[in-house]
Structures are given as structure tokens and as C-alpha cells.
Amino acid sequence: MVEQSVMFGALRLGLLLLVLPGMSGCYVSRLAWHQGKLLGSRRDVSEVVLDPSTPASVRARLTELPEILAFAKSCGLEPGNSYQRYIDNGDRPLSWLVYAAKPDRLEAVTWWFPFSGRVPYLGFFSKEERDEEEAGLKSKGYDTAKGSATAFSMLGIIDDPIYRSMTRRPRNEFANVIFHELVHRTVWVKGSADFNERLAELFARRVTLAWLGSILNGQGDDHDKLDFLADIEDRQKFGVWLTELRRALDAIYQSRRPPDEILRMKAGAFADFTEKRRPKFAGGDLIGGRTWNNAEVLAAGLYDGNDFPCPPEPVVPEKAKQFILWLQANKNSQIATVETLRKVCL
């Protein structure tokens, strides 16, 4: 499988250090050790900015960070003391992710964690450990997918640091991932991972567009904004493609045909969509050459696949703040709906 650090780059680790009884003790110990090691290497952002050995690209992102956080606050997001410390994790992902799904229906395998609730993925600090887990899931007959994370949120329980892997992004993407993670820190509906991700994705896009407009203020090069708009357009094309693929697969799985025939029809649907029905993207190919299966579809669907239009318009900060306050006042599984996601786009 092709690693998907772009598409799945902001997937939650959640609080994997606090897993439920019954999960492997070795798994918990390894995660705790790696996370502790990372947190132990934190440095103040101000110190890193002044350090002459800091790469210019990292310094540029960290220098603009206070302005990004201030804009986030104006839109109702709550940074708290997050993003005041920096961790140099090199050019490596923070976490290696694995997803699994039933082979004959769009039903994800899930795991439960305190605070985050039930989530459809596991994260590992070692690629080898992730691959071993994936092999075990495959041996049980599941469809599987792999990804990697360059950022994640501790959901407000612990102050989030800035990782070097985050600063490797272009200016617009860096701001967008900060806004995305702050949505999770500010509002997290327990047990509704797909809703939380789509909410953060849609809201962060509109906040990013507003921030880009504020820093341009009618002056300077709008290259960052144009690039970001092109990326949104590609994501919308991918979302339409993914929605249509899901509908085709659902129709097959609900047809009550013999199992062998369903699997043949499933393979035919994936071949049709990946070979004949793939859209043309302005940037990178979001479909790629990987072998698509149910796990890939569900993993991609955490971010994309909304069946309603969401115009790429900047949000008005005061309206954004009121929306966040409404979410916080009504934070429960009952708001984890398509209707709530539609409100982000109004």
C-alpha cells in the first residue's frame, strides 16, 4: 500500500497511552515510552526561533505561529498553552497507522480508548510494528489500509507541541493543520471519529481561507491562496468520486447475492472507478496507484466524501466563534450529523 501522509496526515492518535483493559500491555508500554521520549525533547518555540542552527524553513513557520494562533482565537478556537513548545522529530512521521474493514461490507474494525471513544484505526511509533499488526489483521480476513500521521491532537488533556514534521508543509497547509488540530482540541464528540475529522477539515479550510485573506489584506502575492483553492477543488473532486464509489459498493453488498459473486462484483467496481472513472486533478493524484479496498475507502471517508456542496469561501470570524460556542454547548453524539456539517458551509 502507498503511504498516505497527505490524505491522512492529521488523523488522531487520540490518547493511546490510556487504553482499555484487554489491550496488549506491551502495546501500551511501547506507546508510553515513545511518547514520553518525544515530550522530553521539547524546547520553547521562542528559543528555537533564535537558535542559529534552526533551518530557515522551520524558523519561517514558527515565526508566523503567534499570528496563526491569534486568528484561531478570533474564530472561537482554544489553543490554551498548545504550540508553545517544539519537538524535532526529523523528517519522519509521528505515527504509523493501520485501518481494517470487513471484506464484504463497508464496516470498519474499531478500537475503544478513553476520552476519544471508539476509533477506526491504531497508531504505532514504529513502521515495523504497524506492518506486523496489519499482517495479523489480514490473516483474519480483513481488508486493510496503511497511513502515517505528521500531526495529532491530545484533545486538550495535554498541551500540544509543534513537531518539525508539521513545519515541512507549505505556509497555507501549515496554518490549515494548526486550525484543524485546534478544532479537535476545542470540540471533540466522543466516539464519532468520522464526524470529528470532517468537521475539523471543513471548518479549518474556511478559517485558513479567512486567515490567508487577512494576511494579504489586498497586498502582496496571493500564490498561497490560489494554491490552497486548487487543493480544495481537487479534494472536492475526490470527495465526489469517493461518494459515488461508496454508493456503488453499498449496492453490491446489499444485493444479497452469493458471497463469491459479491466479491467479484466488488473487484469490478474498484477496477471501474480506479481505471475509467477517476477524475483529473490539478495537483497530486489523490487516488494514486494503490490497491483500493473497503479499508481504504473508509479511511479516506474520514476526511472526504460529503454528499453536499461546500463553497470554498472564507469564514467570518465572529460567525465562526458563534458556531463553535454552539458546538460546545451541545457537544454530544446527537450533533454528530450531516446537518451539523452542512452548517459549517453556510
**DSSP helix/strand/coil, 329:** helix
Residue 250 neighbours by CB distance under 10 Å: 12
pTM of the model: 0.87
Band the pLDDT of 172: cuts 50, 70, 90. Answer: very high
pLDDT the model gives residue 186: 96
Band the pLDDT of 217: cuts 50, 70, 90. Answer: low
Compute the 3-state secondary structure of the chain and give helix, strand, coil in percent, each to the nearest 5. Answer: 50, 10, 40
CA-CA distances (angstroms) from residue 100 to 1, 105, 121, 263, 274?
13, 12, 7, 17, 20
Band the pLDDT of 18: cuts 50, 70, 90. Answer: very low
pLDDT at 312 over 70: yes
Q: Taken in order 54, 57, 60, 62, is the CA torsion positive or negative?
A: negative
% of the chain with per-residue pLDDT over 90: 67
Task: Give the N- to C-terminal CA distance of the chain in Å, as an integer.
Answer: 37
pLDDT at 282 over 50: yes
Q: Which residues contact 45 (CB under 8 A, 6 or more apart)?
A: 62, 65, 83, 84, 85, 86, 162
As separate numbers, helices (DSSP H) first and strands (DSSP E) second, the chain gives 12, 8
Measured between alpha carbons, how far is 104 from 295 in angstroms, rounded to an integer?
Answer: 11
Q: What is the residue-averaged pLDDT of the chain?
A: 86
Per-residue pLDDT tens for 178-189? 999 999 999 999
pLDDT at 243 over 70: yes
Measured between alpha carbons, how far is 130 from 111 in angstroms, rounded to an integer?
Answer: 15
% of the chain with per-residue pLDDT over 70: 86
Among 60-74, 146-160, 282-296, the minimum mean pLDDT is found in: 146-160
Three cell numbers at 321?
466563534
pLDDT at 44 over 90: yes
pLDDT the model gives residue 10: 36
> Who has greater pLDDT, 216 or 229?
229
pLDDT at 36 over 50: yes
Measured between alpha carbons, how far is 316 from 85 in angstroms, rounded to an integer?
Answer: 29
Residue for grid cell 470498519 = 108
pLDDT at 9 over 60: no
pLDDT the model gives residue 154: 74
